[in-house]
A = this chain, B = another copy of it.
Amino acid sequence: MSYAKDMPDLKHGDDAAAVNSLRSAVMRLSRRLKHQRVDESLSPTEMSVLGTLSNCGSATPGELARKEHVQPPSMTRIVALLEAKGLVRLEPHPEDRRQKVVTHTEQAVVMLEESRRKRNAFLAALVDGLDEDEWAKLRAAAPVLEKLAHL
């Protein structure tokens, strides 16, 4: 069955079933992952912010809010919590005194490294229930999902 008639003129408009399947799976999987806290005291978004800082080096609260798709006041709270835990450091912006610069601490690096094993253990165990072909498909799709999340 095709939903092509319902779709605007999109390249992949006739793949509505796949789109539905994708949405449902991502939502359910995320609910399970949410419970697999590396560190019980860190929320998924806090972890994600640390991951982002680990990649980017540093960022302003506003940049982080946009990257994580969260409102500025929420990011204020998240950054404050991370700072209280000694995982990020806040410094004045060199050019604009309204802004601040958030950087992750060495403690965050250690924590991220240390917790990677635990985090991977859960996901790897889940992924281990797949056969070689399924895992290959997932591995190929991972970067595309990342792109989609950023689009």
Interchain nearest-CB distance for A10 vs B (Å): 4
Please, could you name 22 A-B residue pairs with CB atoms under 8 Å apart, sorted by A? A7-B117, A7-B120, A8-B125, A12-B124, A12-B127, A12-B135, A13-B124, A13-B128, A15-B139, A19-B127, A21-B142, A22-B145, A27-B30, A31-B45, A31-B70, A35-B69, A126-B148, A129-B147, A130-B144, A130-B148, A137-B140, A137-B144
CB of A29 within 8 Å of the partner chain:
yes
Name A residues whose Cβ lies closer than 8 Å to a Cβ of B.
3, 6-8, 10-13, 15-16, 18-35, 44-45, 48, 51, 68-70, 116-117, 119-121, 123-130, 132, 134-135, 137-151
Seed contacts A8-B121, A31-B45, A126-B148; 20 additional CB < 8 Å A-B pairs: A3-B117, A6-B120, A7-B124, A8-B125, A10-B128, A11-B135, A12-B135, A24-B146, A25-B148, A27-B30, A27-B44, A27-B48, A28-B150, A29-B149, A126-B151, A129-B148, A130-B148, A134-B147, A138-B141, A138-B148
